[in-house]
Amino acid sequence: MATLAGIIDRVRAEIGDVGSPFVDTFLGGDELASYDLSETGVTEVAARVSVPPGTVDLVADVDYVLDPGQGRIVLVAPEYSPLRHGQTLIVRGVAEGMFTDADLERYIGDAVEQHVYGRELTTRYRDARGFIRYERVPVSLENLPAVEEPLLAALASIGVMWTLATDASTDIDISTAEGTFVPRTQRYRQLIAHIGEVQQRYNTLAQQLNVGLGRIEMFTARRVSRTTNRLVPVFRGREYDDTSRPVRLLPPVDGSAYDDESGVPSPAYPGLWG
């Protein structure tokens, strides 16, 4: 069973945005209570103050306030704000990288909606009265087959890399009079090329498993009644031992471009024919 944390780890591995641990040490001087960490997008932070002859562990939102995105810690406890002479603030944590987990969750959510669009899992069982029943559950991240986890991670990483490519698209090549040339647009070209390779890999695997937006689907052709000129109702196909009530299908009806906009009323009697 796929988990959000597992997909996030796969996406980070795909885009090379693996978090790294850090340790920052700040010496007190009776002046500052706010300190910029060496990393931004931090998580799993643990802070302590060295007060000779020992150390004191600080409590988040009580002794200090952390801005994870900017990578800034602010001491708010009166005994540490500002940090006194002879005291040392030690901050340990993990930097998430270019994207936080919350950012990646949005990309993964979009990838899930695209990858499982219109799919259901059907389970056949016998109820307490002995009748055979069928349970249909929409496919989601919680019941996604394990074989499709790499595909979902690849699709989410494509969305992430499109964001990186949009940022790189504003870069321009630099050429100086001394003959120095910096091809900054090469980053954009490399991202676009890699997006195409990952997209091709996703399309190939999705085609083999017949999943995703490009999967092969079987539809029922709709018939128009010769007597009423109305579409004949279509119902979902069922197994021979499925005793549940029929499920009505409402396939989309095209042809809005041919609607009569003249406003002239039709001579046909509504509900009978025409």
**Residue 103 and residue 211 in one domain:** yes
What pTM, to 2 d.p., does this model score? Answer: 0.73
**Residue 6 and residue 138 in one domain:** yes
Q: Please check the confidence at residue 271 and state whether its pLDDT lies above 60.
A: no
**Residue 9 and residue 27 in one domain:** no
**Residue 35 and residue 12 in one domain:** no
Cα–Cα distance for residue pair 181/163, rounded to 1 Å:
26
C-alpha 12 chain-centroid distance: 12
Q: Is residue 264 part of a domain?
A: no
Q: Is residue 187 part of a domain?
A: yes
The model's pLDDT over 218-259, given as tens digits with 9 standing for 90+, comes to: 878 888 888 888 889 989 888 888 888 888 888 877 766 777
pLDDT for the residue 43: 80
Lowest mean pLDDT among 143-147, 174-178, 197-201: 174-178
What's the structural domain count of the chain? 2
Q: Is residue 272 part of a domain?
A: no
**Residue 112 and residue 221 in one domain:** yes
CA distances from 93 to 12, 24, 102, 254 (A): 18, 9, 17, 56
**Residue 177 and residue 75 in one domain:** no
pLDDT for the residue 259: 77
Mean pLDDT throughout 82-108?
A: 89
**Residue 189 and residue 202 in one domain:** yes
Residue 196 structural domain: 1-18+97-250
